[in-house]
Structure 1
């Protein structure tokens, strides 16, 4: 089922991953245990979206409060400063997903070997190609000989085995840091260097994830929090602040004027993202990006009036138990990342996100990152919203939240509701929105695949987007 309610619950983009996470909860594991198990299965069965060669973020509400981990990869020290060709060996950054699992172990209750066991079995026994993976394979060019051998000729329903991934999973189950510091790291570095990746063992060995403080705004009675730079989370907050200032959501959600104004607001926020957001260790984002006076000025630049006092691909899933609410997102960036494969692990192409200026390529620097997660709290309820959506993620987060808050839809209705997106040179929209635009299928993954969690009075409602093959399972 795409929507379910319960005291303990999982919703993800894939039915096998959701099932495995629910089994962990059923066997007494907590939300962090189930999150690692779900994450590992997703890494195997939808390898076009994420995996051991990619990275991730985690946001959780726990008894100690909000925790947020950024385990997005940094560039090898030898990356250089020249433009990075798409999907080239220079497009690979150090993968952070396994480090994220390592960071989560402070909150887990079960042995990592048990949590990774279902994913290991799938790598050995095989899994059937789902609809999303089928489309990703068909729409991909031949990325590398190793990729072609694993995926190139597979179609919906075919069986795939990735025993190399299973071997690595079994080895890191004893110590996740061995992925970065032990024999596994040495083997991965050797394999990557043979394919032209300018990586050294120290690039792996010195890599660490970070615990970060979220960025916060208030929106119509809710405290809204997103990941700080190097992610584009602040871009979603800019959109929401300007939406509230202009009061465009007093119009019907499918009103052409409202959609046009929303697109103009999104364009302003994306201009700021491209100019200011980078790895804060190299170029801190300016403090004024969420300042009312600055946003009023930005709106005036495009002839929009603010009604306030001036002073004043990827995969995401949610898991919850009686004490913890977890949202986790993991990614390779483009489908199958760089297409470069070592030990059956497909490596990311996240360095494609480097541009110029503040966000130019530099060694040990994290690129501007499309991953983020939205957390909202207010009116005695909490929401976690995340999605597969790449550059469109700030718009997807803001539209789903606006449907929920401004148009008083329930959380599943807000996820299911028709979306429109500004892509930089055109507006695309699902056909059921009924507005002039480039029309998509009624339920199109091109406007994002969202998973969401609502918690109120100790009960969780989890939603899996009908635009995918995901499900929600309560325990």
Structure 2
């Protein structure tokens, strides 16, 4: 309904539209002053680190300059993110990654999502009066997989000594960092949750309130945990003093987690799943993550002439919105830990199934509540980073505490915020995502990768249920409309963060005629700002293997930046003497 949106939108000039969609290899440089792309890509012969916090990007870039691999830089940047963006990441959360090896051209997927404690069962919660999974507190906590994920990544692809990778994070935790604009807003939004936990109040509400923009925040307890991990490896977390601290903290409030839950946990290498999209190959990780929804959406997109329709077109956006509804109906019905339930991944991401789902789309009317299909063989607060090193190796990595500040529970000794990913389980025994001991829940966080010929792109976009929607839109922006990776991250988007209904949030950079066309089809549009946080901040890196040139990009919806590896200019000058 028109009353739900702003009617006075800035009309976007045709020249700006054209400049936004020019391909990365054929940019119209004569129109650069009129482009709608707000910032340029970072372009270098060396490596690039792109995160949502510039200090973390800088940390990763310096690791590259010390001879580190893409994996080394990703670990260092992620560890730093847990300090400078503590509400969205940290060692109390989970991790997924995709690694592309430039020499072999091979991809490796990493699932470092944690499992439910042995004692946490449906009956256990029913006896305590729960009818739904708790979304905060000790009964929402699953074993964190992040540190085990770092270890697996370093063992296979690292170059530098493990301990060196934690120097930046330890430095920021000990010496402090000035709070940035978005972090200030996130911190304030989580204040009520933090106030419920004594440790959270003590550590994360210094002076009784969230730190403000520009104020320096220090976390010496967390620094000590990082020092132990640097010195002793992942065993300090899963079999040593950190595990003991977490178990003691949780059991004091609920007696639900054990040292065995930690010591028995292992991350696993997995094969990415993929589809083709108009000549490109797009990769996601298999369940228990929701990446298959992005691939299903792309397969549905492919059934329609999106390039001919253009970017600012109501029919094109209608198809994408309807594809979202179809894919999410399937997610809700089928997604679970494949070790516990059969998930029909191959059927869901098949071209044949997409054709059947696409045939149900009515081009004149929105279907607000969509039923799941019958495929053959039939969870907002996250950080994402992308790294490419000078050799072209790429890491696409995503990490999260699930909701902002996770469960709200902070460990006694080391000040670790513990995730609430267990809140993604259900208590319905007939559902594939039903809670069970040592089962991994439905996971929203997904890294991605795409390639065609000599072009290889690691990318990811944050934001809970937004992620597969944003992935599909990002791929379409590049493939269908010729945008470069920065323009594709900046391009206006829509999203839906709940199940069912006719409503979509949409950024106000879409022209009025497009919005009116969508409303005429029955979509209810909830207008958001030009670069709205619910659409998800993201990063991307691109390696051109024919030229050896690397490109980096970062979304303006967060505080971050893509930062290039410092060139060895001083060393070069010294050698000339």
Could you tell me which residue of structure 1 aligns to residue 200 of structure 2? 147
| Larger CA deviation: 336-345 vs 24-33 | 24-33
**Closer, same or farther: CA 95–254 of 1 in aligned 2, 3 Å:** same
Cα separation, 1, equivalents of 2:89 and 2:531: 23
| Larger CA deviation: 345-354 vs 240-249 | 240-249
State whether structure 2 residue 425 is matched by structure 1 residue 321: no
Larger Rg: 2
Cα separation, 2, equivalents of 1:2 and 1:465: 11
CA positional deviation for 1:395: 0.5
| Larger CA deviation: 117-126 vs 248-257 | 248-257
Could you tell me which residue of structure 2 aligns to residue 430 of structure 1? 507
Could you tell me which residue of structure 1 aligns to residue 43 of structure 2? 5
* Cα distance per residue 1:286-335 (max 9 Å; x no partner): 13212333333323344469xxxxxxx11111111133111111100111
Which of residues 528, 533, 537 is equivalent to 1:449?
537
Cα separation, 1, equivalents of 2:244 and 2:203: 23
Could you tell me which residue of structure 2 aligns to residue 369 of structure 1? 443
Is the contact made by 1:336 and 1:346 (CA closer than 8 Å) also made in structure 2?
yes
Tell me the secondary structure at the aligned position of residue 399 of structure 2: strand
State whether structure 2 residue 561 is matched by structure 1 residue 471: yes
Cα separation, 1, equivalents of 2:285 and 2:443: 10
Cα separation, 1, equivalents of 2:193 and 2:397: 30
State whether structure 2 residue 391 is matched by structure 1 residue 352: no
Structure 1 residue ranges without an equivalent (≥5): 306-312
TM-score by length of 1: 0.95
Tell me the secondary structure at the aligned position of residue 49 of structure 2: strand
| Larger CA deviation: 388-397 vs 1-10 | 1-10
CA positional deviation for 1:101: 1.1
> What is the count of residue pairs matched by the alignment?
468
Cα separation, 1, equivalents of 2:95 and 2:552: 20
Cα separation, 1, equivalents of 2:201 and 2:305: 51
**Closer, same or farther: CA 230–467 of 1 in aligned 2, 3 Å:** same
Which of residues 454, 474, 493 is equivalent to 1:380?
454
* Cα distance per residue 1:400-447 (max 9 Å; x no partner): 110110001111111111111133431111111134321111111110
**Closer, same or farther: CA 181–383 of 1 in aligned 2, 3 Å:** same
Is the contact made by 2:300 and 2:354 (CA closer than 8 Å) also made in structure 1?
yes
Is the contact made by 1:2 and 1:465 (CA closer than 8 Å) also made in structure 2?
no
Could you tell me which residue of structure 2 aligns to residue 297 of structure 1? 356
Is the contact made by 1:2 and 1:464 (CA closer than 8 Å) also made in structure 2?
no
Give me the CA root mean square deviation.
Answer: 1.6
Cα separation, 1, equivalents of 2:542 and 2:72: 20
CA positional deviation for 1:197: 5.5
* Cα distance per residue 1:137-182 (max 9 Å; x no partner): 2112233232222233122222211111111111111222221012
Cα separation, 2, equivalents of 1:392 and 1:446: 7
Could you tell me which residue of structure 1 aligns to residue 548 of structure 2? 458
* Cα distance per residue 1:234-261 (max 9 Å; x no partner): 0000000000013344322221222122
Could you tell me which residue of structure 2 aligns to residue 288 of structure 1? 347
Cα separation, 1, equivalents of 2:87 and 2:255: 20
Cα separation, 2, equivalents of 1:293 and 1:115: 46
CA positional deviation for 1:224: 1.0
Could you tell me which residue of structure 2 aligns to residue 265 of structure 1? 323
Once superposed, which parts of structure 1, at least 4 consecutive aligned residues long, lie more than 4 Å away? none
Cα separation, 1, equivalents of 2:41 and 2:558: 13
Cα separation, 2, equivalents of 1:383 and 1:197: 45
TM-score by length of 2: 0.79
Is the contact made by 2:41 and 2:485 (CA closer than 8 Å) also made in structure 1?
no
Cα separation, 2, equivalents of 1:197 and 1:429: 44
Could you tell me which residue of structure 2 aligns to residue 309 of structure 1? none
Tell me the secondary structure at the aligned position of residue 553 of structure 2: strand
